[in-house]
């Protein structure tokens, strides 16, 4: 089956620093990738949608200058949390769509970000 | 009103019983519906999806869709302690579009 990886799986950083999270589709080309954030005991909230080679589309309330998304290739998307603060601590999950006729998206294992 | 709604639970069921989970959606443009299982600290894993009215069975799981009532359900037969998790319902309008998730239902299967 389609596999999506994320790196790192966990990251701890100091307040004010920037953190980059990678999302890779390992055995398929991802036409579209999605970035979600999940706070404890809450559901997944979509942050942004990115298509290869174009600018990401951000959901209402998500700061595009704080959460930089790059989808430079069909197998890699990156999310950079700039000037991270403790309130950015969360579980970040990416998913990818292979452009096929099915609606299924394939989820990465997630990245746990802790900002001290 | 949230676009996709679920009872938060917890839904407590004895081992071997049937767990019944419900989900309603507000956007009639939604085409396909997904059920995911999520263990604490882990990413969601797909159980099954459904896009036609009626029932769809896969092993111990049965999804039911009623577009007229805007209602999706998931039945888990012969519930096992390993089924204890949060179950997420999600809707999508078209392939490649965003998934809209419900708040999730926590299920506890007691031995």
CB contact under 8 Å between B99 and A100, yes or no, is: no
For residue B60, the model assigns a pLDDT of 97
Residue B1 has pLDDT above 80, yes or no: no
Per-residue pLDDT tens over the stretch B73-95 = 999 999 999 999 999 999 998 87
Give A 43-102 residues with CB within 8 A of chain B.
Answer: 43-46, 49, 91, 93, 95, 97, 99-102
Of A87, A89, A83, A45, residue with least CA distance to A66:
A83
Question: Cβ separation of B49 and A34 shorter than 8 Å?
Answer: no
- Average predicted confidence (pLDDT) for chain A: 93
**Chain A residues 18-47 with a CB less than 8 Å from chain B:** 31-32, 34, 42-46
How confident is the model over B25-34, as pLDDT tens digits? 999 999 999 9
Task: Tell which residue, B110, B81, B85, B63, has the closest CA to residue B9.
Answer: B85
Each residue's pLDDT tens digit, A49-84: 998 888 899 999 999 999 999 998 999 999 999 999
Q: For residues B41 and B49, give the distance between their C-alpha atoms in angstroms, rounded to a whole number.
A: 23
pLDDT of residue A34: 96
pLDDT for B46-64, tens place per residue?
999 999 999 999 999 999 9
Q: In angstroms, what is the C-alpha Rg of chain B?
A: 13
The 10s digit of each residue's pLDDT in A84-115 is 999 999 999 999 998 876 778 899 999 999 99
Say which residue the tokens 């263990």 belong to: B39
Q: Which among A107, A90, A33, A73 is positioned nearest to A81, based on CA atoms?
A: A90
């Amino acid at each position: 089956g389609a596999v999506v990886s994320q790196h790192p799986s966990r990251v701890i950083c100091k307040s004010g620093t920037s953190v980059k999270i990678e999302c890779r589709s390992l055995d398929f080309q991802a036409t579209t990738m999605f970035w979600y954030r999940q706070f404890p005991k809450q559901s997944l909230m979509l942050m942004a949608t990115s298509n290869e080679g174009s600018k990401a589309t951000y959901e209402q309330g998500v700061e595009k200058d704080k959460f930089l998304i790059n989808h430079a290739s069909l197998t890699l998307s990156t999310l950079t949390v700039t000037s991270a603060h403790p309130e950015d601590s969360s579980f970040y999950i990416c998913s990818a769509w292979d452009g096929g006729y099915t609606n299924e998206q394939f989820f990465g294992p997630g990245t746990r970000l802790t900002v001290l | 009103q949230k676009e996709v709604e679920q009872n938060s639970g917890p839904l407590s069921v004895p081992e071997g019983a049937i767990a019944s989970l419900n989900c309603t959606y507000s956007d009639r443009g939604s085409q396909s519906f997904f059920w995911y299982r999520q263990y604490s600290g882990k990413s969601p894993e797909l159980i099954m999806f459904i896009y036609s009215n009626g029932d769809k069975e896969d092993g111990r799981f049965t999804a039911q869709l009623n577009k007229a009532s805007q209602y999706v359900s998931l039945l888990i037969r012969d519930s096992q302690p390993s089924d204890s998790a949060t179950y997420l319902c999600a809707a999508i309008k078209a392939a490649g579009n965003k998934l809209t998730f419900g708040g999730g239902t926590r299920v506890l299967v007691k031995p």
